[in-house]
Amino acid sequence: MCKQNRNILAFTLIELSIVLVIISLVISAITAGNYLVTNAKLRAVIKETQDILTATSAFRDRYFALPGDLDNAQTIFGSTDKNGNAITNGNANGLLDGTVIGTSSTWPEHYSAMQELALAGLIKGTYNGTGTATIGVNIPASSYANNAGYFFIAYNFFGQFQTLNSLVFDTITAGANNLGIAVNDAYYIDNKIDDGLPYTGKVVSYGSAANNCVATYLNGAASPLSGYVYLYNGTTNCQVNFAFPSFSFQ
């Protein structure tokens, strides 16, 4: 009886180990690549905010008033810009007044501020200085996401701080901000340029309710505010607020 030789094709343990090592290396490379891309994007956000705040300081040094709050803006820039958009004099009270973002008001200084910064050649773009929040129309875009941008407000943050001017970084939907910055990204920004705490320092972030961005909503947070931390590695979102140079929230 003849024995028939059969070649059995199969992976050896060594070959399987090599395959698993290759797969692990590919996964590690993808993870590292995503990390680098995310960090580069957030570093770009930090630079964008610093550029806008630096431009604001330069405007104040040049015209002795904040953009938007300038009470002789029409004398300096004219009554309309090159696109026919009205230029509005501010009320010179030192605050970038206006109702909550998403609406117009008698003193929509948070919109005219960006218009005047652009007219002064201190930031790129053209902004109409009025209306409701629209990226590329009255507020500048951010490289963070297609619907992310920057605007100014003068606010006391639910009475937790004195009323002061700040630059807001947030996502915008249907003319209003929607507290859409990932909590991990907000923490990264805060940790890089401030104290890494959501309710203190020159960077303040908060969510739309408790357990969103921070376990306790800012509206109900108790002193000391330094006791609160970001819900890091969570899936919630924040709005990030930057104090003007030489100021801090607390």
Q: Does 41 have pLDDT greater than 60? A: yes
DSSP H helix total and E strand total for the chain: 4, 6
DSSP label of 226:
G
What is the identity of the amino acid at 189?
I
Q: Does 118 have pLDDT greater than 60? A: yes
Higher pLDDT among residues 7 and 101, named by residue: 7
Tokens 């990264």: give the residue: 188
**Helix, strand, coil share (%) of the chain residues, nearest 5:** 35, 15, 50
pLDDT band at residue 104 under the 50/70/90 scheme: very low
d(CA 112, CA 86): 9
pLDDT band at residue 34 under the 50/70/90 scheme: low
Q: What is the mean pLDDT of residues 188-204?
A: 96
Q: Does 214 have pLDDT greater than 90? A: yes
Terminal C-alpha separation, the chain: 94
**Residues with Cβ < 8 Å from 236, sequence gap 6 or more?**
183, 207, 211, 212, 213
Longest dimension (CA), the chain: 110
In 45-202, DSSP assigns E strands to: 148-155, 164-173, 176-177, 181-182
Phi then psi dihedrals of residue 162, to 5 deg: -65, 155
pLDDT band at residue 100 under the 50/70/90 scheme: very low
Averaged confidence pLDDT in the chain: 87
Higher pLDDT among residues 25 and 146, named by residue: 146
Higher pLDDT among residues 249 and 207, named by residue: 207
pLDDT band at residue 174 under the 50/70/90 scheme: confident
Which helix (H) or strand (E) segment is 205 a member of? Answer: strand 203-206
d(CA 36, CA 44): 12
Q: What is the mean pLDDT of residues 94-103?
A: 65
CB 219 within 8 A of CB 180: no
